Amino acid sequence: MTMTDMEMDAEWKPSGKIRPQSTMAQAFSTALDSAFMLDSDVNHLSQTIDQK
């Protein structure tokens, strides 16, 4: 008996473990935030730009 995609999706349960891809994606996201200063306050960033 072959299950349809919808049946497989309905039975899927997360394992609770972080997959390597998820860890890599989180690390990449953090690196981008740091590189582009996305985690800083927007008002502070605007003031810094105005001062320059």
Mean pLDDT (the chain, rounded):
76
Tell me which residue range forms the domain holding 33. Answer: 23-51
pTM (predicted TM-score):
0.38
Share of the chain above pLDDT 70, in %: 69
Number of domains in the chain: 1
What pLDDT, in 10s, does the model give residues 4-22? 888 888 887 766 666 666 7
Burial 13-29 (b: 16+ CB within 10 A, else e): eeeeeeeeeeeeeeeee
Asked whether residue 18 is domain-assigned, the answer is no
Asked whether residue 8 is domain-assigned, the answer is no
Asked whether residue 40 is domain-assigned, the answer is yes
Q: Is pLDDT of 1 > 70?
A: no
Asked whether residue 6 is domain-assigned, the answer is no
Asked whether residue 2 is domain-assigned, the answer is no
Asked whether residue 14 is domain-assigned, the answer is no
